[in-house]
Amino acid sequence: MKGVIWYQGESNSSRAWEYSQLFPFMIQQWRKEWNQGDFPFYWVQLADFKPEVQTPTESDWAELREAQTKTMALPNTGQAVITDLGEGKDIHPKNKHDVAARLVRWALANDYGIKVPFRSPELKTLEIKDNKAVVTFECFGSGLRAFDVDEAIGFTVCGEDKVWHFAKGKVLGNDKVELTCANVPKPLAVRYAWANNPICNLFSKDGLPVTPFRTDDFELSTKPKPVEPPAAKK
């Protein structure tokens, strides 16, 4: 066996917090039981789906995407980001070709020795400067570009009140985006493409969409609530 490709997660979106443990466990367990070492395991991140929203809100699909991204901490894994290829009214988007093209890049580059850009830009650091937030990305040999318009769209920021607002993004150089928001004079945290169907336009210059992320550690909406023990009978 050369490796595994995986496209799944939609049915787990309401349990995204659980998926952050379940998905890597499954990969590790398959590798253990099949006794073929850390064979390649590449997956497709959830596409954009459901209605677009005009106000930032919590998103179980965004939380599931984060669980998938975190799973890349395992060795010999990879993720194809497709937040630009989905359809709001179809959980199974019609454009299968471009999805496959991004997925196969991982195998071509890592397993067949073909030099091809294969990894989407990912969050590297966040720096707060007065009323601005500057996000730096790991671009894996490429650079950033905002598609169609100059502004980098898809970012939200919040202050200490933890209320999210859309921010204006300006691409700086190859790997930075500067964010400002009149409603958040003192930014605390940043999110990008954090929605079921995010409106976002930041790509690498090789045409790969930036990986959705958040810099906060706020409690996830899909994390199970503690179960109160039954009241003692009198």
Place of tokens 């009323």: 131
Contact indicator for 187, 207 with CB cutoff of 8 Å: no
Contact indicator for 82, 47 with CB cutoff of 8 Å: yes
Q: What is the mean pLDDT of residues 119-130?
A: 97
Beta-sheet strand order (sheet of 176-180): 122-129, 132-138, 176-180, 168-172
- Give the helix/strand (H/E) hosting 68: helix 60-70
Percent of the chain with pLDDT over 70: 99
CA-nearest of 227, 222, 229 to 64 is 222
Give the model's confidence band at 227: pLDDT under 50 very low, under 70 low, under 90 confident, else very high: confident
Question: How far from 64 is each of 8, 98, 136, 161, 187, CA to CA, in Å?
Answer: 11, 21, 23, 25, 25
Percent of the chain with pLDDT over 90: 95
Using DSSP's 3-state secondary structure scheme, residue 61 falls into: helix
Q: What is the mean pLDDT of residues 4-17?
A: 97
Using DSSP's 3-state secondary structure scheme, residue 144 falls into: strand
Give the model's confidence band at 27: pLDDT under 50 very low, under 70 low, under 90 confident, else very high: very high
Q: Is the pLDDT of residue 234 over 80?
A: no
Q: Is the pLDDT of residue 174 over 80?
A: yes
The pTM of this model reads 0.95
User: H-type helices in 71-225, by residue range?
Assistant: 96-111
**Structural domain boundaries of the chain?**
4-111, 122-214
Reading the block at residue 185, the tokens are: 């004079």
CA distance 26 to 30: 6
- The pLDDT of residue 81 is 98
Dump pLDDT digits (tens) for 47-90: 999 999 999 999 999 999 999 999 999 999 999 999 999 999 99
Q: What is the mean pLDDT of residues 133-151?
A: 97
Mean pLDDT of the chain: 96
End-to-end CA distance of the chain: 62
The fold for domain 4-111 equals Rossmann fold (3.40.50)
Give the largest Cα separation in the chain, rounded.
72
Q: What is the mean pLDDT of residues 109-129?
A: 97
